[in-house]
Structure 1
């Protein structure tokens, strides 16, 4: 990342910033704290309601098993209906609410498209609840990031900010959304600089830190202070294990490239079928597939936090983990093509955890390996994130905050390095770069339709 100081706050050598500039920065800091607090409140409520939706889905499936045939069709029908309604809301009111939302935020920050109307946040909230509540294998962070960005932008507009300050607040609000989604304030700020703007800007850095801090302060009043995952303390790895971390990272990098291509492939198939299969029908079919899966294995649908926690706690069944990995891998790509709100982070963290655990279990017989498979699962989580998103610092910090495993930082760095290297050698584009191109094409189609209507 290159260092760039904003011209609005920079002063020539030997000069002090003018009082106007200082006042502007103080005002921006105040708005940052306000925007972060509101974004954190909305994202925390979204996360809380998602938890309740997951519980309701589990209760429905449990009750439905009491009346097998009718219950089966009820579970499949509810899942299909929720996905259909979510897709309809997106198509009817805010097309940019489909998918993660992070590519849309990046495109706005780069000036490629205009900020969305306030209705986007509403569609993202309601549609996200419906889509993730149906069991689609999607993450909560995408909606949280896009809602945080939208909320912060409109707060900036409400206070009459210039575009330069609107842009800063929009980026900071997006980071606040990510911070709240995973209870990871530092990762939220790092994500803004590493992924969203991809360079260091002092004003954005100040705003990102302030927004993430205020968002987490509000969110923890609702969600509590505990890390997302409870992980046992791990011993320090033997230095002889270093080559194994590089190997794990290489494997994660290959898997990440395959995952990215599967997502883009599923989207390409969805695009080709759009002429004869309406998006609502496609979402309903995918929702029905998720409903069938949920009937037989309720724990395998949704974002996957329970799967990750069971692996990190050592409670997962090793024998069936490869099957679960392949199933989640496929369902993640298919779910993203449903045209509903939902992110990529949470599902890919599950896959990374499984890759690491399986690798650690395979290394169990090596004499100098002192780490249990659960520790390799933590490392694999960060390495797979780095390979998919190409934001290694965000991944490393995010996993450290979510698990509290700071003593695994060095092995995680080695593995993330290898994952990045392999992905680059395989000439695979970062997933959000490809998705951002789709976002700009969608904007062009929207403008064309608006201009001819």
Structure 2
């Protein structure tokens, strides 16, 4: 076979009649190799996109901090900060509303709907809109995460690769799932959690073809991202003491508190979105008002704005008194809900980590006052809370366990995390709370159906 035909067959599955081996599903070995190569290419494109996105967000956070510091040196500094944040949020919303409506919000629900076949694959332009809009919205100080845009950029990269290599629609959907895994792996330096999340939550199946594509894309994306940024744990923690059985009562209390909080958070997000959907105000105006609110927070307390990685880090190093931790938890709960309803690009994962870590830390601070000798360390309470809150909201306990472990590098807290996640999941099920991404995916599918009519 000529070299041109070999390359074409590898990527597209096209082939002349040959005697090549064929698998049980009727697929040639050449086509299977091409599928794996396509998944690797999706991972590389996603890794580069998500890594550069993350680096620019870090630069944006530094600029926001410098702006807030400068603003306190002049009487009109507050006005400048509010105007900058307002303009950034409004432009981000305008990009979504006027250029690509499907770039709104996290992007994970949209990717899930595409992978499940409920909506048509996204257009290519969603990637630049998500990239630029996400930079503006998150850098302005909104309580949104980078993982949602990274996942959707990965899904769009998969659509591009599948289209250019002429993969069929079934392969396209699998590659979209792989791109999502690569996006999450890069966003949080968590390649295993990226793959597991897609298999556990996004596609909800572990068939060999999907698993291979997901793992290959996740690994290649993580490797490509290393070209732009070093490999490191997302959060730094001191070594934790091994858990003790006498501490189990407080561990279960963390599961109970985060379970209730996760249910409330899901309901608050969905109610805010319903109110936003029913509003007659233009999306740009609503986003501008949210940006103005965020601008006030940036001026008054810049550390409380943004995705919140610094806040999660503080909780994991046991920083904060009881009243201060409760205040941060309440503020970030409300700010996260308001920010997500502003119709700008941005994810939910990072805000969830802030809420979970602070809820766990809050329980730990109460425990220290009541039973100081049978209490887990405050850092352990924070990391347990991260996993348990994620479980209550997303209903993906395996992902929660692996994500918290990969992001902190701590492995000896897996047993208490498992117990807290079980309780949080039980609370969510008992209260009939649906997973947040299932509810958002249904909303995305209904929105697409309405737009098609």
Question: Which TM bucket (shorter chain)?
Answer: over 0.9
Q: Distance in 2 between matches of 1:18 and 1:436?
A: 30
d(CA) in 2 for partners of 1:221 and 1:314?
33
Q: Quote the Cα distance in structure 2 between the aligned partners of 1:16 and 1:262.
A: 49
**Residue ranges of structure 1 left out of the alignment (5+ in a row):** 1-7, 9-14, 449-453
In structure 1, C-alpha distance between the alignment counterparts of 2:80 and 2:100, rounded to whole Å:
29
Match of 1:266 in 2: 272
Corresponding residue for residue 12 of structure 1: none
Counterpart for residue 78 of structure 1: 84
2:365 corresponding residue in structure 1: 361
Residues 1:306 and 1:254: Cα distance change in structure 2 (over 3 Å): same
Distance 2:321 2:364 in 1: 14
1:397 paired with 2:408, answer no
- 8 Å contact from structure 2 (residues 50, 186) kept in 1: yes
**Which stretch of structure 1 is more off in the superposition, 215-224 or 164-173?**
215-224
Aligned to 1:59: 66
In 1, Cα distance between the equivalents of 2:226 and 2:317? 23
Deviation for aligned residue 1:18: 7.8
Offset of residue 19 of structure 1 = 8.4
Superposition map of 1:25-424 within 5 A: 25-68=32-75, 70-273=76-279, 275=280, 277-364=281-368, 365-366=370-371, 368-369=373-374, 371-424=376-429
Measure the CA separation in 2 of the matches of 1:285 and 1:295: 16
The answer to which of 236-245 and 222-231 deviates more is 236-245
Q: Which residue of 1 is the match for residue 450 of structure 2? A: 445
- Deviation (angstroms), 1:368: 4.9
Determine helix, strand or coil for the equivalent of 1:200.
coil
Residues 124-145 of structure 1 deviation map (CA, whole Å, 9 limit, x = unaligned): 0000000001101001000000
Report if aligned partners of 2:318, 2:361 keep a CA contact under 8 Å in 1.
no
* Cα distance in 2 between the residues matched to 1:211 and 1:112: 23
User: TM-score, normalised to structure 1's length?
Assistant: 0.93
Change (3 A) 1:21 1:413: farther
Q: CA deviation at 1:20?
A: 4.1
Residues 139 and 280 of structure 1: CA distance in aligned 2, closer, same or farther (over 3 Å)? same
- Structure 2 residue 431 is the aligned partner of structure 1 residue 426: yes
Distance 1:346 1:224 in 2: 20
Query: Do the aligned partners of 1:57 and 1:133 also contact (CA within 8 Å) in 2?
Result: yes
Give the Å deviation of 1:100. 0.4
Q: Distance in 2 between matches of 1:100 and 1:173?
A: 15
CA distance in 2, matches of 1:294, 1:243: 38
**CA shift in 2, pair 1:16/1:161, >3 Å:** closer
**Paired residue secondary structure (2:28):** helix
- Distance in 2, Cα, partners of 1:378 & 1:108: 33
Distance in 2 of aligned mates of 1:387 and 1:348: 10
1:99–1:341 Cα contact (<8 Å) kept: yes
List runs of 5+ in structure 2 lacking aligned partners.
1-12, 14-21
Give, in angstroms, the shift of residue 72 of structure 1: 0.5
Shift of 1:226: 1.0
Q: State the alpha-carbon separation in 1 of the partners of residues 153 and 346 from structure 2.
A: 12
Deviating above 6 A after TM superposition, structure 1's stretches of 4 or more consecutive aligned residues are: none
Helix, strand or coil for the counterpart of 2:303? helix
Q: How many residues get paired?
A: 432
User: Matches of 2:395 and 2:142 in 1, distance apart?
Assistant: 24
Please give the per-residue CA displacement for 1:194-213, whole angstroms capped at 9, x wherever unaligned: 01101111111111111111
Contact 1:237 1:369 in 2 (8 A): no
